[in-house]
Structures are given as structure tokens and as C-alpha cells.
Structure 1
Amino acid sequence: MKIRNISLINYRNYNHLNIELGKDVNVFQGENAQGKTNILESIYYCAFGRSHRTSKVKDLIMWDKKNAQIRVYIEKDRLDKTIDMNLLSDGRKSISVNKVKLTKIGDLLGVLNVVMFSPEDLKIVKESPGIRRRFLDMEISQLDKQYYNALVNYNKVLAERNALLKSRRIDKNILDIYDIKLSEQASYIARQRINYIGMLNSYGKAIHQEITTQKEEIRYVYKSSFSLEGNLKDNLKNELTRKREIDIDRGTTSAGIHRDDLLIFINDVDAKDFGSQGQQRTAVLTMKFSSLEIIKKVKGEYPILLLDDVLSELDLSRKKFILKSIENIQTVITCTGVENIEEYLTGSYRLFNVQNGSIVDGGD
């Protein structure tokens, strides 16, 4: 999978942009606030139908315009794809793939696979379980549309169950129905999360040891609010029944995959509470590069790797690891130019100079 062309109209600070990407490494270099990250964001948007920076469509449109457009042309082994996004200032958006309009975001997932690594990803280790669940959900949804649909259905039923609990007009027969529906969706979601974490461990062990020169071992563990032994559907249903009175008292659902967490251990120590900042960065780096290998295994081809201003945050050994590992992966990198990454790139690369919404191709 390779992106050949990106076209932007009225997107962020780009009035009109049309660029051809190189098949290997593409470096977007420039000072801060010039529009480098906007390029990565547009690619990410075409993969997930959402921005990694804002939930508001209006934020993506040039301030004095009524709409914005993104077009990405993708070369794939089986069939080339063109993704078109039309974003409207009233918050609406339309998405087409090869000129066929999509009715659901779920139909977009997997058309363009990407893995993004940005400084904000340190939150995956440091902050709340919700951020770690979101990492799992985004990565698995690229690989499995059934997972995404199960997640949508689960969240819908969860919202309805919580609304009933908050109403204080409790109909236990309806609660029984909600518990069955939640358990059906949650059992599939939990199983796929467990499988994904198994692959994270499989690929992550060697990757982490290479980055840390054999000094550290990493381990990922899925922590659930219900038993993961035996029949997951029955386990959650029984747990919901057991906690029903607590849920009625609190007005919220206390068990389910929305309460679960991804634990990260380095040398058997919890990285969230006891890992150094360097260890936490390395843990995220391991997760991202493991995700690349997982997508390659499942999809048969590498995704696009997006590196948003991360090289300046890493020490020399981690920087060298990244630049050595991307030789066979189309990569889009943003940097301010002070990293001198061309000194470490061994393969071909294309350099783009970015200044105030204008891009000049610096050549190969």
C-alpha cells in the first residue's frame, strides 16, 4: 500500500495543494505552525474519517470558506483506491471511495491503513484507561469491520442502559434484555482485544529488546472488569446481574469492556506508575512498530507510517532505530529541520519544505 497523491482544497491553511509522495520516506520540513501536521492529519482523516486533533469538522476548513476537500490516491496490490472527503462548515461530511458514496464510517476503515506516532501518544502509557482502550479500538477497527460494528452497537446499548439506570424508573425485564445485548457484543470485543494484545506481545518483545539493546523486556496484559476464563458472554452477564443493585444506586454500568484497561509492564514493573519518561516513550514506540507488523501480517502489506515531530523527542539510539526500520514502509515525517535526519536515512527519500501553507518539493 502506497499513497501516490494528496490533494487539498481549503483544508486548514492550504488553499490549494497537490503533491506526489515518494514511495519510501517523505520528509516535511519547516518551522512550527506552518502546516506540516496538517498534511499528516489529512491522511489520518482519510483512514479513520476523523481527526486526531479535533472533533469539530469546522476546525478543518479554512476560516473564510464554506467547505474543504481532501483527495488521496492509493496504490494497492489488488485495486487502486481514491478516497474523497468533502467537509462542510455546518459539521456534515461526505465520504466516497472510487466515487461510490459511503453511508457508514465503518465502510471506510481498512481502505487506507495507517499507524501514527506523535508526541501526544505518550498519554497512552501515562494517562487514563480510556486512552489505552481507544488505541486498541482504533488499531483493531482497521483490521476487523465486525469489531467496529460490535463497538458501535455496544456503546449504543450501554447508553440506553445507563439512561434507564439514571431514570430511576427501573424495569428489570428491560435491564435483562440490555444485559444480554451488552454481553453479546462485549464477548466479541474482548476476545479480539485479547488476540490483538497477544500479537503485541509476540512482536513487541523482540522490538523492545532491540531498542533497549536487550536491557528491558516489555509485556502487555488485558485487565478486565469481568472474568476472561471460559464463556465471556456468560461471565459478563453474570457480573452485570451481580452488580445490578450497585448500578441502580449509582445510575451507571460498572462492568463491561468500557471499564477495561491495557496494562504495560517493563521488566515486570508497571510502566504507567513507575516507568521513567524514556521507558514510557520506548513502550509507545514498541506499540507503534508492533502495530505495523500486525497490520502487515493480517493485511499482507505494510500500512502508511506517520511520524509527527517525534524525532526531536527521542534520543539518538531510538531515532536510529526508527529510521533504520522504515526502509520498506512508506513513511511521512514532519520535523523542524534541526534533527538532520538525512544523515541517518539509508534509502531514498523526498524532502518537502513547508512555509505558511505552501510546499516546495526539495527533490529526492
Structure 2
Amino acid sequence: MGPCRNRRDFLRVAGASLLTTLAPSSRAVRAAQAGPAGAAPSLPVSIARCTGYDREALYRQLQAMMDQLGGISQLVSGKTVAVKVNLTGSMKEDALGLPAWRTYHVHPDLVVATAALLDRAGAKRIRFLECTYQGDPFETYLKAGGWDLNALGALKAKVEYEDTRNLGRGAKYHEVKVPWGGSLFPAYHLNHSYVDCDVYVSLAKLKNHGVAGVTLGIKNNFGITPPALYSHHEPNEQAMSARVAVFHSGEQRPADGLPQELDPASPRRPTYRVPRHTVDALGIRPIDLTIIDGIETVSGGEGPWLPSLKVQRPGLLLAGRNPVCTDAVATAVMGYDPTAAPGSGVFPGDNHLAMAAALGLGTNDPANIEARGLSIKEALHPFGWLPAERNG
């Protein structure tokens, strides 16, 4: 499919008049993330010591963690499970002399162990998702990044791969409303894979983020919006640009025909906009299970384009059913306060965990979250990095 040269081409190619509008209620989102009716929005988080990437050891550890969380067979059996992986930037770009999968990307062997976990729990289909900035076939790109596609293909469940930077294999984009009306935009358009699934897993990395403070399960969701629509004003199915101008700086607006910003006069600074889009992304694609790779990682930012990067080896895995609780515990394990005020602690601007908590999506106070396996104190691995600039 060639690039959309203007809005008319976009409407023809994407079939915008046939967009599916999904509007999950706040009640539905909170029920999926907050636990039993009437209970405080808090679910336990499992923390485990894991110092290497041996697949069988990873599988056994993940299975033990799921048991601590009440099991996942009921969640995934017979269902299509979408897994959003954190492969920000490029798999071909090393960091600090180490490959991406040993620093700022989810490790390929953890991907295989996670797939085995879902497969043995009865998943019917497992679809790995990421939004890339490259034009190779997604499977080719993944293989070049160390992914063992043969091992994944040998599973009983059908394993699929979808680069969600554009329409991909979908016939149209899907418009999904933010349940609470939106923090930055009222609704967004998504690749079909984010709505064509029964269960959604965020397979994330334990690391910092230059603008958001931390990149964990929720910030991993930032990457679900397609650059084909959000990297510039005019849609382009071949786009390989980041979404900075729309979501970070606000220098561009989405094309006509897409939901527009709620308040065009709001601050244009990234530390205001990125947290709001991050929370919106959680609203349009609630996370059913978060798994965080903290075995080998980096501090100082999300990728090698940031000069403050340092190698970290916490030797940890974290998992939880409520994404706010899980990220709050992970933030505490990194030595930070997940309840910090805007512009303080690890957060250079607004605290997206506090914003999500205020919306009722889960507590961000570790004192109100049960840690199973290791305690936060036992798992503590201070990252030490703090933002050099603050715009709270």
C-alpha cells in the first residue's frame, strides 16, 4: 500500500467512514484492573530474583509468580492474547557496548518464556505487537534482534507478529474513546491488533525515561498509537518517524478526521503532554497482565540516544494484574517514590502514576500494595538517576 498523500487518500485507504468506535466504560476499565467490586483498587505484585536469561529457568520463575497472583489459566485459556513488547528505538543500535536486548529492550529469551507460559496456560493465539520505525517485514526485524522464531513457532498456540506502526494486516483503523473523556485527546485511532484480542499483556523493561521518569508497564503502552497517523499532520502509511511533534511538543496536530486535542491552549512541554498521553493510552487499551524485565537493564533514560545511560543488573522480574500497582512497586524497587509530587523525585514533570491513581485505575502507594515473593526492601536496587531538568 502506498503512502497517503493527503486527507482524501487517507480516508479512502483507511476506510475512515467504517471506523469501529469502541467506548469501554470507566466501570469496565476499573473492574478489569482494580479487583473485586467495592474493594480498594489494589492487587498484589509478585517480585522474584532472577539473575539470567535461561529460558527454562525463566519459565519456571514466571509460573511461580503467576501462582502467587492466583494463576492465569482462567485469564488466557482458549483466548487470543496480545503481548506488547518494549523494543523502542532500533534493535540494531547497541547501548554501552551491549546489544539492545541486554540493555534497553525486553530480552528475546524472556519473550520465549512468556510465550511458553501463555501457551501452557491454554492460550489459543499469541500475537506479539510493537510499533517500529523501520520498513522490513516484522519477523525479519525480530529475527535480526535475536528472537527465536522457530521456538515460538513450535508452540501449540498460533503465534503471530504485528508491527502496529500502520494498518498492518488490518482493513481499517479503530477509534477508541478514553473512558473518562481523555487527558490529552478524547479518543485515538489504533491498529486492529489492540482491539482484536481477549487479553492484553505489557511485557516491559525496568528502566528510566527522560520525560516520564520511569518506563515500565504503563509507559510501554505509549507506543500503541501508530506513527502512520500521529507522527505528522498528514497520514502516511510508510511513515517511520516518531510521534514527538504530536504527543511530546504539540507542534503538530493529528490530521482532519482524527480526534483532536481537548485543549489546544494547554502547555506544549513534553513533561505535561507525555504523562497525559500515557494515561490516555492505558484507558484505550487496559492492561490485563504486566511482566517487567529487570534482570539486565539501564538507568538514565529509555535508550542509547540519552547520554546519561548506565548499565544496571537488578536481577529481578516483576509481575502483576493491576498496571498501576505493578508500576508503583517497580518504581519503589528502583529506589524512587511513586507518589512523588509533579516535578520532584524521579518525575521531571507530571507523575503519570499519580494521575492514573486519581482516575481510580489503581493505587500508586506501595504501602497499600501487597508484594508477594520478595519484599520491596529485599528487591531494592537503587537506580540513582534523577532528571537534570524539571518542568513540573
Same fold (TM over 0.5): no
Structure with more of its chain in helix, by fraction: 1
Q: Which has the larger Rg?
A: 1
TM category (shorter chain) comes to 0.3 to 0.5
TM-score (norm 2): 0.32
TM-score (norm 1): 0.34
Structure with more of its chain in strand, by fraction: 1
